[in-house]
Chain A
Amino acid sequence: MIGLAVLQYVASKVDGLEVDTNCFYEDLPIDYDTGQMMRYGVFVTTEPAPMTRTSDDTQYLTFYVAIGEGAEDADGNTIAEKYETDRILQAIQKTVKDSDSDWQALSELSVNGIEEKYSDVRLELTASKQRGVTLTNGAIVKSIVVKVIYK
C-alpha cells in the first residue's frame, strides 16, 4: 500500500485533491457498460521497478490525471479541462521535486487507518508528463511516473 501512502502525501500537497473524492488508488472508476469514466481526478497505479536483493524497496507509481467535463475551481467556476489536467500534473511534479526538503514528513509515511508504516521514503521523478488516451467524452488522460524508494 505504499502507493496509497504516497498518494495521500501528494494529495495533501496539491490544491483541490482529496483522496476518495478525486484521488483513487489502483482504481479507474469506469462504467463497464458504457465505457465512460464515472468520476474524474487522479488515479495511481503500481508498476514494477528494478530491484535487487539488498536494495531498499523500490516501486514505480504512475499518476494518471483525467479531468472531464464540468471541472470547477475552488470557487465553483468552470475551468478548461486541459488546463486543470496540466495544473495537477505540474503540482505533482513540484511535490516530488520538493520532497527532498520535506524529509521530516517522509521519514515515516502511513496509510490512514492502517498500522503499517513506511520509513525513509524518497521520491524521484523518472520522466516528465506523458499524453495518454483520449476518453470517449474527449477528455485527455495524461500521466507521470514517480519512483518511490522506501524501507
Chain B
Amino acid sequence: MSTNDFTGMRKVTIKDTATGGTGEFVVMNPDKVGADGFTIALEANEVTESSMAGDRVSPNGTNTSAATLSLIPRSIDDLAAIWPQGYDATTGTWQPTLGKCVLSDVTLAYEKVCDSKGNVILRHAEISLAFELALARDDSFTAEVMVYPSWSLGSEYGLAGDLASDMIPYQVYDGVYDASTDLIDFDTVGS
C-alpha cells in the first residue's frame, strides 16, 4: 500500500554529544514538528575554466549549506529543550545570546514515528539559535531552526568499507535511532 517511504508523521531527536556521547537529548514529537518539516540541500562545488571558446563551468564536488528544520515550540520549555544554553532555570526564561552560542556537535535524527523507513540523521551538526520570532494573534509561532551539517567520517555513521573513510554530511536510512546509545539499529536490508 505504501507509495512513498519518505512521507509520514515525523519526530525530531536532538542529542548533545559534546560530552562524549553521554549528553542530554530531547525528542520533539509530531505535534511540534511543522508540516514543512526538514529541508537540507547540498550545493555543487563548481570550477570554471576559461578559454578562447568561452567559460566552461563544471561540478567538482559538493558543498554543504545550512539546512532548515521547521519546529513548533509551544512553550518556553520547548525552546529550552532545543537550546538549553539560552535557558535560565531560576527565572524560567529563555533568551538568545550574542556570539557563537550554538548547540554544537549534536546528533540530529529526523525520523518517522509510524515505521522505520526513510529517516535522516546528521552527526556533528550545529544548531544555530538564530531564527525569526514571529508572534501573531491568530497564528502559531513556527521556528525555522538552522542546522549546519558537518562532514564526518562514514565510520561514524556505522559504515564499513570504502564509505567508512569518506566524508559525508548526512545519512538517509531505514532504521531506528537510539538516543541513549547514539547508535542506529538499521533495518535488515531488503526487508
Contacts and interface: CB of A to CB of B under 8 A. Distances in A.
Contacts of A119: 1-2, 114-115
Contacts of B184: none
Interface in A101-151: 101, 103, 106-108, 118-120, 122, 149, 151
A120 B29 contact: no
B3 interface: yes
B30 A54 contact: no
Interface stretch (B4-12, B126-134, B171-179): B4-12
B123 interface: no
Nearest to A118: B1
Interface string A76-120: 000000000000000000000000110100111000000000111
B1 A122 contact: no
B115 A100 contact: no
A51 to B, nearest CB: 10
Contacts, number: 49
B114 A120 contact: yes
| A contact residues, range | 10 to 19
Contacts of B1: 57, 118-119, 151
Contacts of A54: 3-4
A118 to B, nearest CB: 8
Contacts of B164: none
Tell me the interface secondary structure of chain B in the complex.
loop
Contacts of A107: 113-115
| B contact residues, range | 10 to 19
A56 interface: yes
B30 A103 contact: yes
B9 A108 contact: no
Given A56-B7, A120-B9, A151 B2 contact: yes
A100 B114 contact: no
Contacts of B7: 55-56, 120, 149, 151
A108 B8 CA distance: 12
Given A56-B3, A120-B114, A100 B9 contact: yes
Max chain B Cβ within 10 angstroms of own Cβ: one of A54, A55, A57, A120: A120
Contact of B114 (A55, A101, A108): A108
A14 to B, nearest CB: 20
Interface string B21-34: 00000000111000
Contact of B113 (A55, A103, A149): A103
B3 A57 contact: yes
A35 B113 CA distance: 47
B34 to A, nearest CB: 11
A55 B3 CA distance: 7
A77 B182 CA distance: 57
Contacts of A55: 3-4, 7
B15 interface: no
Interface in B103-146: 112-115
A101 B29 contact: yes
14 contacts: A54-B4, A56-B7, A56-B8, A57-B1, A100-B29, A100-B31, A101-B29, A103-B29, A103-B113, A108-B114, A118-B1, A120-B8, A120-B9, A120-B114
